[in-house]
A and B are shown apart, each in its own frame.
Chain A
Amino acid sequence: MRLLTHNMLSSNIKGVTNGFPLRIEVEKVVEKEVDLNMDFLRNMFAKIEWKALVEASRTMGYSELPDDAESSMLDSDEFLRKFHHALLELHLEEGALVCPETGRKFPVNKGIPNMLLHEDEV
Chain B
Amino acid sequence: MLSKIARINLVSSHPEVYDPCDDSFALVDALLADRANLLERHPSICMEIGCGSGYVITSLALLLGKEDSGAYYIATDINPHAVRVTCETLLAHGCHAEVVNTDIASGLEKRLSRSVDVMVVNPPYVPTPEEEVGRHGIASAWAGGENGRSVIDKILPVADKLLSDKGWLYLVTLTANNPLELCLQMRKKGYASRIILQRSTEEESLHVIKFSRDLDTLLEANECMALNKTENELATESSPFTPFSIWKYGKRNFN
Contact = CB atoms under 8 A, between A and B. Distances in A.
B110 A35 contact: no
A9 B108 contact: yes
Interface residues of B, number: 26
A5 B106 contact: no
Given A12-B107, A40-B44, A116 B101 contact: yes
B70 A40 contact: yes
B110 A112 contact: no
Given A1-B98, A8-B112, A44-B72, A112 B87 contact: yes
A19 B69 CA distance: 32
Size class of A's contact patch? 20 to 34
A114 B80 contact: yes
A67 B226 CA distance: 55
A47 B114 CA distance: 11
Contact of B102 (A19, A35, A39, A116): A116
A111 to B, nearest CB: 7
Contacts, number: 75
Interface string B105-137: 011111110010000000000000000000000
A110 B84 contact: yes
Contact of B78 (A2, A43, A116): A116
A5 B146 CA distance: 34
B83 interface: yes
A interface, by DSSP: helix, strand, loop or mixed? Answer: loop
Given A10-B107, A20-B110, A20-B111, A5 B98 contact: yes
A95 interface: no
A117 B44 contact: no
A37 interface: yes
B22 interface: no
Interface of B: 44, 69-72, 74, 78, 80, 83-84, 87, 96, 98-103, 106-112, 115
Interface of A: 1-2, 4-5, 7-12, 19-20, 34-35, 37, 39-40, 43-44, 47, 49, 106, 110-117
22 contacts: A2-B98, A5-B98, A5-B100, A8-B74, A8-B111, A9-B100, A9-B108, A11-B107, A12-B106, A40-B71, A43-B44, A44-B44, A112-B84, A112-B100, A113-B101, A113-B102, A114-B80, A114-B101, A115-B102, A116-B101, A116-B102, A116-B103
